[in-house]
Structure 1
Amino acid sequence: MKQFLDFCANRGGGLLGTWLKLPTLATVEMLGQAGFDYLVIDMEHAPHSLDQVYQFIFATQASGMAALVRLADHSGSDIQRLLDSGADGLLAPRMTSVETAERLTRQMVFSPNGERGLGTTSRAGSWGLTPMADYLKRGDEQCLRMVQLESWDTVEAVEDYLEIPTVSGVFIGHGDLYLSSGKSSSDPEVRKLTQRVADAARASGKLSGAAAATPEEAKIYTEMGYSLVMVSNDATIFAKAAAAAVAESRAR
């Protein structure tokens, strides 16, 4: 398990990751060997059960990457168990209000500053072997608590989300932003807003995240100063490689 926020700071941002959607451990190992810095295990748009996510967290970290998890919804019912499983951080999708962001991220912080319960005998506490002070410090100071801003109104309110003490990062969701605005990630207005998110996060001393469809787009976000940049996802990477292999073989 990484000291994730220190890892980000030491690298100076620009960490490269991808979404984990395929329910197979082999994919995790291959992505680690490919050189990704972290994976985001997707519970929102993939059919992963809690048991599977537990195994993915272990496999991701064993493959040399940080293991982040995107929550399925706003219920917060899985937060305690995901953190007890040793996840390096959580992403909360589709923020609709500052109050929702505060409610969810408070569940990721130990009492009295938050609502997370003590679980030192879990994997996060090395089954009771981690000293209490180290266990609490990792939970409060090293686990990422990132909220996804995915509508025009919420992205424009980025500074309000960054002011929440329990939020350690913001993530701009270009997919749903397109649905609410009709503007793609390459639209000049969207590019300007995307830069604003990175700048606001940097000014507040917090992290920023963005997802790209292609390596070319990922490079744009890295150059904007994003802390965490995601490129494609495991399923699409495999599907496109397979389709290209078939097309090239038939052409020859």
Structure 2
Amino acid sequence: MRENMLKRKLAAGEAVIGCFVPYPSAELAELVARLGFDFVLIDCEHGPTSIESAYHMVLASEAGGATPLIRVPQNVQQVILRYLDIGPGGIMVPQVNSADEARAVVRAAKYHPEGRRGVAGVRAAGFGVEAPLSEYVRQANAETLVIVQIESVEAVERLPAILDVPGIDLLFVGPNDLAQSMGYPGQPLHPEVQAMVDRIVAMVDGRLPLGTTAPTPEQVERQLARGFRLLAANTTSLLAAAARTLLQAAGR
């Protein structure tokens, strides 16, 4: 298994920035990587990206020099297994609302003795020809980045217990679903939603790295100042911002 440079940077206390790619395009994933982002976040929760498309996007991200991550569609052991088997550097699991659900993520993502992930000579394991599987499972447990999303009031209320779950590498605050959970759908910047985000940061208090979205340069600066260490933009937002600037210059 490849050395996970993204995990190394986080462990060293560095901040990292990447980009959601919500479309099934290996070319777009490679372009995002070649632009200099630390990671490409392949979104298989929303949109049409299948596991077959994600496979090629993982390869393209690696070719471009970024760590591929996959946001899986469900916190289900066999679902997580299949996405990890294609060889990303880690997974992000949405809607983790309790310690039991967090433990389920770790069980699915880690091999014995840390979890129950099934062992096979898949791409993640170098197809079983590069090293003994016994060595691969040790490397995979050390290198795989496990991210759970905190995106509901319920998850925030149970955050102290979630923090106690071993094997979680990073908590990712999802502002859109958090806003919806609080009764402000489509308003992630609502003052009460942002106050809840501040509450999450205070509750975590550095025990784990925190990640969130940062669609603009201003948001990047704000989230870094708050203590977030992993920031994710979105290809759609970046394209829209660049297009509007260009069209405005053309008088459109």
TM range (shorter): 0.7 to 0.9
Is residue 74–residue 80 contact of structure 2 (8 Å, CA) maintained in 1? no
1:90-129 to 2 correspondences below 5 Å:
90-119=91-120, 121-128=121-128, 129=130
In the superposition, relative to structure 1, how do residues 86 and 177 fare at CA in structure 2: closer, same or farther (>3 Å)?
same
Q: Which residue of 1 aligns with 2:197?
A: 194
Tell me which of the two structures has the higher relative contact order, counting C-alpha pairs closer than 8 angstroms and 6 or more residues apart: 1
Classify the secondary structure of the residue corresponding to 1:107.
helix
Q: TM-score, normalised by structure 1?
A: 0.88
The aligned amino acid for 2:26 is L
Shift of 1:200: 4.6
Shift of 1:51: 0.5
Classify the secondary structure of the residue corresponding to 1:223.
helix
Q: Does 1:62 align with 2:67?
A: no
| RMSD (CA atoms) | 2.2
Shift of 1:225: 2.0
Instruction: Provide the C-alpha distance between the structure 1 equivalents of 2:182 and 2:235, rounded to a whole number of angstroms.
Output: 27
Instruction: Provide the C-alpha distance between the structure 2 equivalents of 1:130 and 1:58, rounded to a whole number of angstroms.
Output: 20
How many pairs are equivalent?
Answer: 247
Instruction: Provide the C-alpha distance between the structure 1 equivalents of 2:55 and 2:33, rounded to a whole number of angstroms.
Output: 17
Moved more, 185-194 or 58-67: 185-194
What is the identity percentage for the equivalent residue pairs of Structure 1 and Structure 2?
A: 28
1:230-245 to 2 correspondences below 5 Å:
230-231=232-233, 233-245=234-246
Classify the secondary structure of the residue corresponding to 1:220.
helix
Shift of 1:192: 4.3
The aligned amino acid for 1:194 is V
Shift of 1:126: 1.7
Q: Which residue of 2 aligns with 1:213?
A: 215
Q: TM-score, normalised by structure 2?
A: 0.88
Instruction: Provide the C-alpha distance between the structure 2 equivalents of 1:137 and 1:45, rounded to a whole number of angstroms.
Output: 32
Instruction: Provide the C-alpha distance between the structure 2 equivalents of 1:33 and 1:136, rounded to a whole number of angstroms.
Output: 30
Unaligned runs of 5+ in 2: none
Is residue 172–residue 212 contact of structure 2 (8 Å, CA) maintained in 1? yes
Classify the secondary structure of the residue corresponding to 2:76.
coil
Instruction: Provide the C-alpha distance between the structure 2 equivalents of 1:19 and 1:229, rounded to a whole number of angstroms.
Output: 10
Shift of 1:93: 0.4
Q: Does 1:159 align with 2:165?
A: no
Instruction: Provide the C-alpha distance between the structure 2 equivalents of 1:47 and 1:80, rounded to a whole number of angstroms.
Output: 19
